[in-house]
Amino acid sequence: MKVCIVGAGAIGGFLGTRLAAAGVPVAALARGATLQALRHHGWRLDGADGPLRAPVAAAADDPAALGRHDLVIVAVKGPALAAVAPQVAALRADGGLVLPAMNGVPWWFCAGRPGFEAPLASVDPGGRIGAAIPLDSVLGAVVHASTTTPEPGLVAHRMGRGLIIGEPSGGRSARAEAVGALLREAGFELTVSDDVRQDVWYKLWGNMTMNPVSAITGATLDRVLADPLVRRFCSAAMDEAAAVGARIGCPIAQSAEDRHALTARLGPIRTSMLQDVDAGRPLELDALVAAVREIAGRVGVPTPNLDALHGLARLFGRVRGLVPEDAAAGPTAA
Ligand SMILES: NC(=O)C1=CN([C@@H]2O[C@H](COP(=O)(O)OP(=O)(O)OC[C@H]3O[C@@H](n4cnc5c(N)ncnc54)[C@H](OP(=O)(O)O)[C@@H]3O)[C@@H](O)[C@H]2O)C=CC1
Ligand SMILES: CC(C)(CO)C(=O)C(=O)O
C-alpha cells in the first residue's frame, strides 16, 4: 500500500516513521524546514524505545511531484485543513483512502445526518473540504498518543501508541481492516471500531476543555486538574458536551470526574494546543470548541460554560495573533 503523509509534524512524523520503518513506502507532502529535514535525514522518531530512522519514499511541497497514493494520512492542525484539502485530493489514487489523524470534530462528522444537511461552518466553511475529499473515501481516526517536534522533521514520542480507525457511517469493512493491519504491523495499538464517531466524540470530550484551558493558563494537564475550581468548570462544560452527544448518537457513559481520573494519569503533559501557543502557531479552536457549540446550536442544547471557554480562548488567541480576528464569523460567533 503506497502511503502519503500530509502534515509531517508531531503526529504525521510519528505515523510516517513507524510505517516506513515497517517497510511501507511512505511519502510526505511537507514544506519549509520540515521538507528540507525529511529530504536530508528521512523519517526520524525518538522515544523510549530508542531512535527510529527510516527512508522517506519521496518528499515535496507539490502533490504533482509525489504521484497518487492508496492511503493519504492527514495530520495537519485544524486551521490548515481547508488549504491542504485540494492537495489531499490530488494525492489520492482512484479508490484510495483518506485518514485524518487529527483531534476535534472532523468535517465529515455530521455529513448526511438529519439536521446537518448544511456542512458545519466551523470546520468546513463553504463545504470546500467535503467537496474536495468525498465522504466515501474517508476512514475516521482517533490518535491516543503524545508527541512533539523538538526540531523540524524530528519527532519525540512521549507516550501512547493507540489508534482507533473506522468507517464514518459505522460497521465493519474490509478496507478498514486492511488499513488496521498495516498500522498494527507498524507497532500501533490498533482498534478497528464499529462506531468511530463515538470514539471521536469521546476523545474530543477531553481535548475540548483540557487543550484550551492549558493554552490559556500555560498549565500542564496535571496542574489543570489539580485546581478544584478549574476542574469543576471543565466538568460543567463536559456535561454540556455529553448532553449534545446524547442527541447525536454519541452518548457518553462516564462522568466528567471518571474522565478526569484517566486524564490525570497522563501526568505533566503540555497539550498540543499549549505547544501551539509556545510555538506561536494558530490554535485549533474551531474543531475542538466552536464545532461542539455549532452542533449544540443545531440540536438545541444550551452550552453556557462551553461558550465562556470559547470566548476566553478565542480572545486569548486573538490578542496573540493565534486566532484570526474574523474566526467563527458564522454560527459560533456570538
Ligand atoms: N501532538 C500530539 O501529541 C497530538 C496531536 N493530535 C492532533 O493531531 C493533529 C496534528 O497535530 P500535530 O502533529 O501536533 O501538529 P504539528 O503542528 O506538529 O504538525 C502539523 C504539520 O502540518 C504541516 N502543515 C501545515 N500546513 C501545511 C501545508 N499547507 N503543506 C504542508 N505541510 C503543512 C506543518 O508544517 P509547518 O511546520 O511548516 O507549519 C506541520 O509539520 C492535530 O489535530 C492535533 O490536535 C492528537 C493527539 C496528540
Ligand atoms: C493531551 C493529549 C495528548 C491527549 O488527550 C492530546 O490529545 C493533545 O495534546 O492534543
What is the chain's mean pLDDT, rounded?
Answer: 96
pLDDT per residue as tens digits for the range 206-250: 999 999 999 999 999 999 999 999 999 999 999 999 999 999 999
CA of 63 to the centre of ligand 1 (A): 18
Residues 265/266/269/273 CA torsion (nearest 10 deg): -110
pLDDT at 119 over 60: yes
pLDDT per residue as tens digits for the range 68-118: 999 999 999 999 999 999 999 999 999 999 999 999 999 999 998 888 889
Is the C-beta atom of 17 inside 6 A of ligand 2? no
Is the C-beta atom of 271 inside 6 A of ligand 2? yes
Burial class of residue 214, CB neighbours in 10 A (0-12, 13-18, 19+): buried
Residue 211 alpha carbon, nearest atom of ligand 1: 45
Is the C-beta atom of 147 inside 6 A of ligand 2? no
Structural domains of the chain ordered from first start: 3-194 (3.40.50.720), 198-319 (1.10.1040.10)
To the query of whether residue 203 is one of the catalytic residues in this protein, the response is: yes
CA distance 273 to 232: 21
Residue 272 alpha carbon, nearest atom of ligand 2: 9
Evaluate if pTM is beyond 0.90.
Answer: yes
Ligand nearest to the CA of 287: 1
Ligand nearest to the CA of 259: 2
What contacts 114, CB < 8 A, 6 or more positions away?
none
**pLDDT, position 104:** 97
SS3 content of the chain, % helix, strand, coil (to 5): 45, 20, 35
Is the C-beta atom of 198 inside 6 A of ligand 2? no
Q: Which of 178, 147, 106, 145 is nearest to 13 (CA)?
A: 147
State the average pLDDT over residues 147-174. 96
pLDDT per residue as tens digits for the range 240-295: 999 999 999 999 999 999 999 999 999 998 999 999 999 999 999 999 999 999 99
Q: Which of 207, 203, 193 is nearest to 164 (CA)?
A: 193
DSSP states of 44-111 as a string?
EEESTT--EEE--S-EESSGGGT--EEEEEE---GGGHHHHHHHHHHHEEEEEEEEE--SS--TTTTT
Residue 13 alpha carbon, nearest atom of ligand 1: 13
Please pick, among 203, 231, 298, 310, the residue that the annotation labels catalytic: 203
Q: Could you tell me if the ipTM is greater than 0.95?
A: yes
